[in-house]
Copies of this chain bind each other. A is one copy, B any other.
Amino acid sequence: MVTLCEVGPRDGLQNLPRTFTVEEKITLITRLAAAGLSSIEAVSMVNPARVPQMAGAEEVLAGLPELPGVHLSALVLNLRGAERALATRIDGLRFAVVASDTFCRRNQGMSSEESVAEFARAAKAARSSERDIVAVIATAYGCPFEGEIAPARVARMVEAMIAAGASQVVLADTIGVAVPANIRCLHDHVAPVLGGRPWGVHLHNTRNTGYANLSTALELGTSVVDASIGGLGGCPFAPRATGNVATEDVNYLMQRSGVATGLDHDRLSDLVDWLDGLVPERITGQLGRAGWFGAEAAA
């Protein structure tokens, strides 16, 4: 069973030139749920002075209707963010640590080691509130400032966070540099220290390797695949960052590979059309233009 975790409302919106209103964010999340997404990273509990696109997280969550069967999570970078999230209706936390020290200091003002220690504090708070916490490891496949990241270093971080209570571990190619061999190599380092917890991938398609990496991760038995509707996304603190793998294209690849997703292609397409009207230059997903295989034949 592979869970597609939709990160469009968070990663997708965080570096757009146009800041979505609270109302638009609520529309986006509600329509994602209606298209069949059962896991949605809905908000980010970061400083709105640093990332204005992410302002209004509490209002978004309060304004959302009941979404039965949908797991809503918040991205957090520190204990303060975790506490903000735990004061809301959120179902779980996704805590981002960063494998690269340099990137970690720029992104969240602490070292990698400090971010793992902060994860442990957040995990404790999550446990007290009976919410789950996912460990997301940014720049796990490479850093724009430090270059290659040693897989053994990532594995040590994973081990520490599993011990601290991570329910899952998501390995993130924040700047889209990985190739399938890297996915395989890091998997081989991390698998022995997962202690039976599921692992996943968060992939950016910056160098056209994102879907190849996804395909390899699926072969290796990934349980979680992050994707962003329309292929929006990118870290505001990574140079020349570009979007995540697109939910609608991931859905095509997975469904045509015989991996069930539970997603409704037509509803996803309608949602991409809506986003295309708002941020046309940022749509990197291709299914919207190309259509599902067979569409032309039927026309």
Contact = CB atoms under 8 A, between A and B. Distances in A.
Contact of A257 (B180, B214, B285, B286): B180
Given A207-B252, A215-B215, A239 B296 contact: yes
A290 interface: yes
| Of listed A182, A209, A258, residue having the most chain B CB within 10 A | A209
A258 B181 contact: yes
Contacts of A296: 144-145, 239-240
Interface residues of A, number: 43
Interface of A: 142-147, 176-177, 179-182, 205-209, 211-212, 214-216, 239-240, 242, 245-246, 249, 252-253, 256-258, 285-287, 289-291, 293-294, 296-297
Given A181-B258, A256-B181, A286-B206, A142 B293 contact: yes
Nearest to A240: B290
A184 to B, nearest CB: 10
Contacts of A181: 256-258
